[in-house]
């Protein structure tokens, strides 16, 4: 059995965190592949190494000396190395890098990738594992997408040791240049490694005990979700906190490898398990997986009498939005009425044009815009075919005096979407959480 583990920036931020990582890795012999991020913040006032590297690059680009920032970066690594008593010659590598930087001989991608590179060098030494550089296995195609077969084959060839540490976030372009993923991309590297090696699980270690049932800025101390499917996760992350880089889903999903979000600071917590589907139900009394939402939507609502008997009215309305390049979130409708729900920001610039065009092309009996709408989504795969869930939702909101402005439920019954006034947003989330969390 093989588990691929990925440790995020907060897990790599200090020598103490390295110790926790080591304890976690060594406590399970299956944890033989370790993907690491660059050092993150030790505390609120600290800086992420990756941010400092971007800053360093910006300095040199504009001809400003980056010596001070560079020293901040190197001192973080020296601190960790020395506190752990590791014998890794960072001095020489840093000197070479600084020289190349001064000569403007380092690309931005290469420079920012060094955060992960040095993390991995130190962690490999600390664990006594083999260091496999990401440029030796993560292969990009010219269009910037990952060449999965080539990358998988390369990692299988490279990872010969008993244990392997590899840096996240970057790889190699066909022209030999270092290329990085977008921010947070070490999650993708971990997922690729898990897929390459057919791991039994991809463990993504971070600083929360999994994906939370609701936004902790709204609900105090929300529970972590024990099990979530990929489809639910997509619904939850569309409007909620992003725990994982979106690109991290595909490689493991393709190979049906479960993804487990874990907390380096609370390794005994089981975290959140993400899978295509769950054959058994660990918790049959839990109906709602999570509650999420976003504020600041607009509802463009049109009524046209007799619309239900006419062909093409809906298309005519929607094509106006399409012409303006507006992506539509929901289209709740009645017999002679249809509403289009979009983020206010996305239509602000062209709203009056859109309304004028709808007037002209669709000739509605009425056309209104409602602003300050929040969308709240109760997500749960187990809602399907289970009567009473929406009743419970509406009762809870009704009792709290929250007016529902819109209701939408997809045919897959994966979520119930409600529109409420912006001012009721937080309360709606709290009320739903209180009625469904256990
Ligand atoms: N270090 C990179 C970032 O801060 C990549 C990562 O941590 O996943 O975005």
Over residues 83-140, the pLDDT tens digits come to: 999 999 999 999 999 999 999 999 999 999 999 999 999 999 999 999 999 999 999 9
Rounded to the nearest angstrom, the distance between the alpha carbon of 309 and the centre of ligand 1 is 54
CB of 184 closer than 6 angstroms to any ligand 1 atom? yes
Ligand 1: which of 47, 50, 112, 113 to mutate, most ligand atoms within 8 Å of CB? 50
Sign of the Cα pseudo-torsion (10, 11, 16, 20, in order): positive
State residue 396 phi and psi, 5-degree precision.
-65, -45
Please tell me the distance from the alpha carbon of residue 395 to that of residue 327, in angstroms, as a whole number.
32
Quickly state the pLDDT bin for 361 (edges 50, 70, 90). Answer: very high
23, two tokens:
């304890």
CB of 183 closer than 6 angstroms to any ligand 1 atom? yes
* Residue 238 predicted with pLDDT over 70: no
Burial class (CB in 10 A: 0-12, 13-18, 19+), 291: buried
Rounded to the nearest angstrom, the distance between the alpha carbon of 60 and the centre of ligand 1 is 21
Rounded to the nearest angstrom, the distance between the alpha carbon of 117 and the centre of ligand 1 is 12
Close Cβ partners of 7 (under 8 Å, ≥ 6 residues apart): 21, 34, 35, 36, 37, 123, 205, 264
Please tell me the distance from the alpha carbon of residue 53 to that of residue 421, in angstroms, as a whole number.
42
CB of 112 closer than 6 angstroms to any ligand 1 atom? no
Please tell me the distance from the alpha carbon of residue 118 to that of residue 49, in angstroms, as a whole number.
10
| Predicted structure pTM score | 0.89
Apex 185 CA angle, 115 and 344, nearest 5: 125
Please tell me the distance from the alpha carbon of residue 377 to that of residue 436, in angstroms, as a whole number.
13
> 175-230: per-residue pLDDT in tens?
999 999 999 999 999 999 999 999 999 999 999 999 999 999 999 999 999 999 99
Rounded to the nearest angstrom, the distance between the alpha carbon of 45 and the centre of ligand 1 is 18
pLDDT at 239: 62
Return the ligand 1 atom nearest residue 8 CA.
Answer: 7
Q: Stretch 412-438: mean pLDDT, rounded?
A: 92
Let me know: does 291 contact 235? Beta carbons within 8 Å. no
CB of 37 closer than 6 angstroms to any ligand 1 atom? yes
* Residue 284 predicted with pLDDT over 80: no
Count other Cβ atoms within 10 Å, centred on residue 312.
9
Looking only at the bridges linking them, the beta strands covering 227-229 and 259-263 are: unpaired
* Residue 274 predicted with pLDDT over 90: yes
Rounded to the nearest angstrom, the distance between the alpha carbon of 8 and the centre of ligand 1 is 8
Q: Where are the alpha helices (DSSP H) in 103-147?
A: 108-127
């Amino acid at each position: 059995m093989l588990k691929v583990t990925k440790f995020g920036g907060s897990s790599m931020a200090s020598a103490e965190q390295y110790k926790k990582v080591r304890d976690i890795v060594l406590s399970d012999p299956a944890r033989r592949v370790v993907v690491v991020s660059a050092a993150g913040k030790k505390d609120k006032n600290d800086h992420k190494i990756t941010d400092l590297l971007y800053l360093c690059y910006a300095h040199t680009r504009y001809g400003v000396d980056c010596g001070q920032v560079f020293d901040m970066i190197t001192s973080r690594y020296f601190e960790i190395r020395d506190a752990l008593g590791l014998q890794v010659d960072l001095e020489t590598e840093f000197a070479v890098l600084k020289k190349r930087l001064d000569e403007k001989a380092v690309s931005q991608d290469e420079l920012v990738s060094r955060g992960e590179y040095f993390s991995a060098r130190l962690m490999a030494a600390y664990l006594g594992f083999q260091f496999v550089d990401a440029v030796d296995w993560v292969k990009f195609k010219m269009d910037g997408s990952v060449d999965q077969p080539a990358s998988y084959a390369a990692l299988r060839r490279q990872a010969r040791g008993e244990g392997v540490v590899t840096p996240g976030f970057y790889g190699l372009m066909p022209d030999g240049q270092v290329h990085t993923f977008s921010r947070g991309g070490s999650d993708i590297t971990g997922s690729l490694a898990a897929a390459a090696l057919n791991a039994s699980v991809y463990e993504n270690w971070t600083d929360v005990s999994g994906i939370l049932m609701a936004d902790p800025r709204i609900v105090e101390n929300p529970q972590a979700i024990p099990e979530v499917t990929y489809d639910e996760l997509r619904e939850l992350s569309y409007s909620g906190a992003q725990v994982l880089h979106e690109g991290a889903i595909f490689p493991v999903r393709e190979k049906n490898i479960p993804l487990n979000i874990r907390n380096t600071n609370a390794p005994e917590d089981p975290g959140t398990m993400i899978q295509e589907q769950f054959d058994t139900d660990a918790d049959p009394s839990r109906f709602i997986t999570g509650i999420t939402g976003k504020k600041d939507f607009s509802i463009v609502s049109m009524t046209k009498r007799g619309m239900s008997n006419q062909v093409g009215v809906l298309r005519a309305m929607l094509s106006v939005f399409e012409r303006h390049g507006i992506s539509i979130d929901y289209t709740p409708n009645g017999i002679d009425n249809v509403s289009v729900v979009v983020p206010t920001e996305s239509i602000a610039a062209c709203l009056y044009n859109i309304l004028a065009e709808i007037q002209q092309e669709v000739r509605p009996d009425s056309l209104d815009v409602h602003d300050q709408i929040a969308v709240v989504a109760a997500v749960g795969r187990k809602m399907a075919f289970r009567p009473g869930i929406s009743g419970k939702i509406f009762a809870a909101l009704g009792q709290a005096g929250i007016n529902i402005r819109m209701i939408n439920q997809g045919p897959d019954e994966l979520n119930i979407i409600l529109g409420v006034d912006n001012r009721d947003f937080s309360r709606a989330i709290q009320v739903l959480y209180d009625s469904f969390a256990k």
